[in-house]
Amino acid sequence: MEASVLAIRGIFSWPEAEKVNAQLFRATVHAFVAHILEKHKNPDDINEALHKIGRNMGKMLFVTYLDQLSTIARDVKELSGMNNMGFKFFFGKTFDEIILEESDTNITIKLRIEDCPICRDIVLPRRDVFFCEPMAGVFEWIGEQLADYMGVKSIRCRETRCRARGDKFCEFSFFIEKL
């Protein structure tokens, strides 16, 4: 039921919310990627730097999003809905597919989007760099803030596929360890 409350609040908050200009956001991330590519040669270092940028962005976005909706996710299923609505809140698009896989000790969530507003029209010179990794950092930081509240031990998020690398869609994978 709470997920529907999130959706309803998101719908009503959307017209009043400040929007992110996707083209400006892409240009900013592109500038970061170009700078980091010059500075680092190791793809793990590049992706980690992009991830850290996203984590820092997540601090501000989380406060802004909560201020608008005043509701947070109470469990992992609601987290995927909250991230979907948050993505729409800031970029005007929802994910095409949300996949939830659960075992006794772990949960994996995959958020997939084919027409990603972050990397639209971007082609990276290297397939080992994930252009949308800052968004994974945003998702991870927000998830970590809610981990205790949701009753999970840890949350990690990485971009595991990216259209800018030539993949069919962008995919953000959450790796959640249960208590």
Other C-beta atoms closer than 10 Å to the C-beta of 63 total 10
Residue 122 token pair: 């971007």
Neighbour-count burial of 132, counting CB atoms closer than 10 A to its CB (0-12 exposed, 13-18 middle, 19+ buried): buried
**C-alpha to C-alpha distance for 169 and 161, rounded to whole angstroms:** 7
**What is the per-residue pLDDT for 69?**
62
CA gyration radius for the chain?
16
Q: Angle at Cα 133 formed by Cα 131 and Cα 139, nearest 5°? A: 145
**What is the per-residue pLDDT for 77?**
87
**CB hemisphere CA count around 81 (13 angstroms):** 20
**Which of 58, 60, 95, 59 is CA-nearest to residue 80?**
95
Range of the domain at 45: 2-178
**What is the per-residue pLDDT for 1?**
41
**What is the per-residue pLDDT for 20?**
62
pLDDT tens-place string over residues 46-59:
999 999 999 999 88
**C-alpha to C-alpha distance for 118 and 135, rounded to whole angstroms:** 9
**C-alpha to C-alpha distance for 177 and 168, rounded to whole angstroms:** 28
Other C-beta atoms closer than 10 Å to the C-beta of 15 total 6
Task: Please give the model's pTM, rounded to 2 decimal places.
Answer: 0.86
Look at the chain and report how many structural domains it folds into: 1
**CB hemisphere CA count around 46 (13 angstroms):** 23
Backbone torsions φ then ψ of 111, nearest 5 degrees: -105, 120
**Which of 119, 129, 127, 56 is CA-nearest to residue 93?**
119
Spans of the chain below 70 pLDDT:
1-20, 65-71
CATH number of the domain where residue 145 is located: 3.30.1380.20
3-state secondary structure of 72: coil
